[in-house]
Amino acid sequence: MHLDEDLWNIIENVRRAESANDLCKSLKDCLCILESKNANKRKFINYLNEHLLNIGGVHRIEALFGDNPETVRNVYVHDYKKAPLIYASHLLISISKIRDYKVRLRKLIDMFENEFNVPKTVGLSKEQVNKVLDFLQAKYGIFDIITCKTELEIFLFNNSHKQFNSFCEVFSDASQPGTYCKQYILTFASRAEEHDPYQVLIHEIGHALQVALSHQAMMIPESFIEMNKELDVYLENDKVATTDVFADVFAVVAMNKSYLADHNDLIRFFPARVLDLFERYFTELIKFAFDNREELKSKKLDIIWSNDGKAVKL
């Protein structure tokens, strides 16, 4: 199929984009084509998707065999030059209808143009992130749990975000609303110096663990609420039963007594007995999930936490 040179140039500009700003400009050009009366709109989408699909395949090959290969199986980290394009490609390649393509392009353009800001801090490098992943995998085998059902992709954006320092994006299939089909972690250059990027990253990995255990974006294990009741002064259930609290406590446990301890300012708020309780809980929860990860592929799992009646003082 023949495509005009101007359309090829737009596709090439998309492929070459190494920043959210450059990609945003190219996606606007794509949207203009789809909103025009150009007779080759259908061909344009087909060729664009073909190139985006190739980009996805190339990044997998580089992740496995490149100069800086991924070290944790089924976890892919995209550095700031590749993150915007690979993220956009994932969200576009499954769309074939022009109407739906335009909707998705507008959402991406709005995200890059109105939610992304010039960074005020420096985020973690891919090498620093991989070191954290290696540490957590060696300590817990945690990514065998998180990726038991689907791969995990981590996008490192070289922008700050209007609202978030990071977030875990969870996707589900309409045919299986009771579970998830993929997870992405998006990290940004923090909006302020007090948000340590290591703490932010491991907090999001805590969310990925929570989703793998519960199969839902906004559900935490019931055992976490029961464990909380061992404290002599504990949060009300409607406060403790939040995914952010679960992710925060996971980050405290994972980073405590490690080279990462100085990067988590929450650790100092908890006395040793409380930290020991948190560590005992997550050790048991993660071990159970690891031992039953084949079953975890198809249904949520949890431990039965038995309170010992001894309140732990805050």
Condensed to tens digits (0 to 9), the pLDDT of residues 6-62 reads 999 999 999 999 999 999 999 999 999 999 999 999 999 999 999 998 887 777 667
Q: Is the pLDDT of residue 67 over 90?
A: no
Query: How many separate domains does the chain show?
Result: 2
Q: In this structure, how many other beta carbons lie within 10 angstroms of the beta carbon of residue 72?
A: 20
Q: What digits encode the pLDDT tens for the residues 110-152?
A: 999 999 998 877 889 999 999 999 999 999 999 999 999 999 9
Domain assignment of residue 244, yes or no: yes
CB 105 within 8 A of CB 27: yes
Rounded-to-integer distance, Cα 282 and Cα 224, Å: 9
Strands 166-171 and 182-187: antiparallel
Domain assignment of residue 178, yes or no: yes
Same domain, 94 and 133: no
Same domain, 165 and 89: no
Same domain, 216 and 197: yes
CB 153 within 8 A of CB 146: no
Domain assignment of residue 193, yes or no: yes
Same domain, 164 and 103: no
Domain boundaries, position 102:
5-71+82-116
What is the pLDDT, as a whole number, of residue 121? 79
Same domain, 130 and 111: no
175: Cβ–Cβ under 8 A, 6 or more apart, which residues? none
What is the pLDDT, as a whole number, of residue 312? 45
Same domain, 159 and 263: yes
Same domain, 135 and 266: yes
SS3 assignment, position 81 = coil
Same domain, 131 and 209: yes
Same domain, 105 and 181: no
